[in-house]
Amino acid sequence: MKLMGSKEKIIQAYDQIIWEKFFALARDIQTQNDYNFENEELMFSALSVRGSKLSSEEFERLEYLGDSIYGALVGLILFNKFKQFSPKELTNYRSKVAQNSYLSKLSSKLSLERIGSILQIGDLSDGQLADLFEAYVGAIFRDTGSDFNKTMDIISSMIDFDELSEQVSDKPWKDRDVKGYLINQIQKQYGNKFKPLYSLEQSGPQNAPDFVGTLAIQNIDTGEILEKPRIISGKNNSKKNAEKECALNLLLQWEKEGKLIE
């Protein structure tokens, strides 16, 4: 990535060594997120955190844009992915992923927190890290030519929505392991000799496979597999998530049918 113009600005505000560290960080961030900026100045502006010698109005504009885009993207992702969630749960979820404490974790995941040391302003607060992340999202959106779908794909890859869903759900299995809760329900309904049986089908390239899970109920002693229920998940990026989706879907089905036993 060439940062024409940025090099001179950083050297003028700091020195050659700072420029080299800044450039290395910019390269690392793009590698980690598997996204290379076409517009070098957008990347530069997104890293010009408030409080540094590089702080500018453009950073604040990107932060404003990123905040707006991120909220809309997350709302749409949640609406499409979690059809079983009530409006209250969707609102709780959106609030969770919009908190400064969560956005700061995303910044750290992308190594954005290193900019504080590089620009000689020390450790960044959660608020500063959240601002950095929002500016970064705004920069990506502009760099893609305001491509909403492409930006949504990039954001989706940063957040483990399935893990967070367990924290915001108001279902009976909230704060519990979903698969463990399902085992408990199966034994209450069918007896201790029954357990969930998961099978997985893999597709896609080896370096980025998709997994579709199937869930049935099996008699441990006889090996017999019950014809019903039979649950199939959507595509997931890991075996663990495919199995969790199957377990969650069966619990939701039983809840709707009034079959859950407390």
Of 98, 92, 49, whose CA–CA distance to 73 is shortest? 98
Distance between alpha carbon 104 and the CA centroid of its chain, in Å? Answer: 13
Write the pLDDT tens digit of every residue in 176-224.
788 999 999 999 999 999 999 999 999 877 777 888 899 999 999 999 9
Residues of the chain with CATH 3.30.160.20: 172-257
- For residue 253, the model assigns a pLDDT of 86
DSSP of 158-177? H--HHHHHHHH--STTTTS-
pTM: 0.65
Average per-residue pLDDT for the chain: 85
CA 40/CA 38 separation, integer angstroms: 6
From residue 158, give the alpha-carbon distance in Å to each of 34, 103, 109, 110.
11, 11, 8, 9
Active site members: 67, 134
CA 21/CA 148 separation, integer angstroms: 31
| CATH label, 6-165, candidates 3.60.21.10, 1.10.1520.10, 2.40.50.140, 1.20.950.20 | 1.10.1520.10
Query: Looking at the predicted structure, is the pLDDT value of residue 43 above 50?
Result: yes
Rounded average pLDDT over 13-25: 81
From residue 218, give the alpha-carbon distance in Å to each of 164, 193, 201.
30, 8, 19
CA 251/CA 171 separation, integer angstroms: 10
Write the pLDDT tens digit of every residue in 23-35.
888 888 888 878 8
pLDDT level of residue 4 (50, 70, 90 thresholds): very low
CA 239/CA 243 separation, integer angstroms: 6
- For residue 193, the model assigns a pLDDT of 94
CATH 3.30.160.20 at 172-257, yes or no = yes
Structure tokens that stand for 195 in this block = 């357990």
Question: Which of 6-10, 80-84, 144-148 has the least mean pLDDT?
Answer: 6-10
- For residue 167, the model assigns a pLDDT of 57
Query: Looking at the predicted structure, is the pLDDT value of residue 63 above 90?
Result: yes
Residues of the chain with CATH 1.10.1520.10: 6-165
From residue 224, give the alpha-carbon distance in Å to each of 25, 216, 221, 254.
56, 10, 8, 21
* DSSP designation for 225: B
Write the pLDDT tens digit of every residue in 94-134.
888 888 888 988 888 888 888 888 888 888 888 899 999 99
Query: Looking at the predicted structure, is the pLDDT value of residue 246 above 60?
Result: yes
Collapsing DSSP to helix, strand or coil, 99 comes out as coil
